[in-house]
Structure 1
């Protein structure tokens, strides 16, 4: 039976400092606080007290000392606050300092520029002919075009079946393989229609000019209008394994799910190199006229 509500489980990487302590049974302090936050507040308060009494600040006058204490306590409270991930805000400071230099915020991608900065962002060494992605950290990945079964028009029975199937699926996924779902809005795919039109062209026994012109008109409509101006939502699955064996196991789990049920994934098509490049290009190059708006979610 599907659950009526869900919660984010606690991380298995929790340490002793992540244990939450409630200071009182009522009021603002009733909300549990992790031990690391309490230690940060205590250490920060002591540091402000020491700086205001044992450094040059102690001889700067009562007004300046008062302002410094207020500023220091506010800084401790702000940087000791919790983010949505229950990490202290001070954890953002190293990333902020690394982002301050202008060279860290602007990456040149000219042909004459050093490609090291751009490669550090992408992290991809090569994409093989079959679509296998070789990452710089030694991991391997594969992009798969998928079609799901979710819809606003689902009956309650179907919704419950899908939730049960998805819940059971994630329980058997290997942690050595990442599953990243990527949703894009891009021009409709007309490969099959164009291939069918070409097959009809090859099957023509009479090369009548009017028929040829009609087929050319249909080709222009498919490629320039349907495949160029009309957009639709596409969803991809990026499997990234820590090794070739981990990626293979991820493929087997996905294949078993597609063959066993259509509740979670109805269709799955593995992309080769020529199909993977345009999908990845969305994130690093974009498409003219703003036709593509990518949105990624980690499963």
Structure 2
């Protein structure tokens, strides 16, 4: 039976410092704080007290000491604040310092440039013709174009059935295979419509000029308007196994889910190399460049 409410479970790498403590039942201290935040505030206050009484700051005068204490308390309050991920802001300082150099914020992708920086971002060694992705960490991946069943117009019975089916699916998934849902906004796919026009053109027995012109008009509408100017939401499922065996098990579980019910996934189409590359290109090239390339190829 589907639950009435859900919550985000605690992370598996949660340590003793991540446990939250409530200091008071009312006031500002009523909000639970993790132990690491309390230790940071306590250590920061002790450090400020030591600097203001036992170092050169103590002999700098009342105004300078007051300014130092206020600035230090403001810094401790800011860097000790929690982000949405329950991490302290100070934990992001090393990443910020590594991002400061200009060379760390720009990756050159010219043919003459060193590919090491771009390779570290992509992390993909090769993609086979059948769509099998070889990751740099030794993992194997496969991408699928999926169609789900979610809708705002679902009846309560259908919603409960979908939630139960999704819950049952994730209980069967093994930890050796990662499931990543990728949602993109891309030009509408018109391959089937264009192929149907081509079949109709080949079987056309009467080559009347008006009929030919009508077909050309329909082709222009599909390629230059529907397939170029109108975008739609596409969802992909990327399976990444630690090895080929883990990926095979993940594929079998997904295939059994698609074949057994349409509640969670109505349709899943395995992508080959020519289809995986445009899907991944959205992350590194952008949808605007894809639209420009499509228009250039049509012209």
Query: Could you tell me the TM-score, scaled by structure 2's length?
Result: 0.91
Q: Distance in 2 between matches of 1:61 and 1:171?
A: 65
The structural deviation recorded for 1:258 is: 0.6
Determine whether 1:36 maps to 2:36.
Answer: yes
Q: Distance in 1 between matches of 2:24 and 2:288?
A: 57
Q: 1:78 to 1:288 in 2, by over 3 A?
A: closer
The structural deviation recorded for 1:172 is: 2.0
Cα offsets for 1:123-175 (capped at 9, x unmatched): 11111111111111222222110001111111111111111111222222222
Q: Distance in 1 between matches of 2:232 and 2:67?
A: 57
**Structure 1, unaligned runs of 5 or more:** 293-299
Q: How does 1:62-81 map to 2 (within 5 A)?
A: 62-81=62-81
Q: Distance in 2 between matches of 1:89 and 1:248?
A: 40
The structural deviation recorded for 1:290 is: 8.3
**Map of 1:88 onto structure 2:** 88
Determine whether 1:197 maps to 2:197.
Answer: yes
Q: Is the 8 A contact 1:83 1:89 kept in 2?
A: yes
| Aligned-partner SS, 1:171 | helix
Q: How does 1:103-252 map to 2 (within 5 A)?
A: 103-205=103-205, 207=207, 210-252=210-252
**Map of 2:253 onto structure 1:** 253
Which has the higher mean CA deviation after the structures are superposed, 266-275 or 56-65?
56-65
Q: 1:291 to 1:160 in 2, by over 3 A?
A: farther
Q: Distance in 2 between matches of 1:28 and 1:286?
A: 44
Q: Distance in 1 between matches of 2:84 and 2:288?
A: 35
**Structure 2, unaligned runs of 5 or more:** 293-299
Which has the higher mean CA deviation after the structures are superposed, 121-130 or 22-31?
22-31
Q: Distance in 2 between matches of 1:195 and 1:290?
A: 21
Which has the higher mean CA deviation after the structures are superposed, 250-259 or 196-205?
196-205
Q: Distance in 2 between matches of 1:180 and 1:11?
A: 17
**Pairwise CA RMSD:** 2.0
Query: Could you tell me the TM-score, scaled by structure 1's length?
Result: 0.91
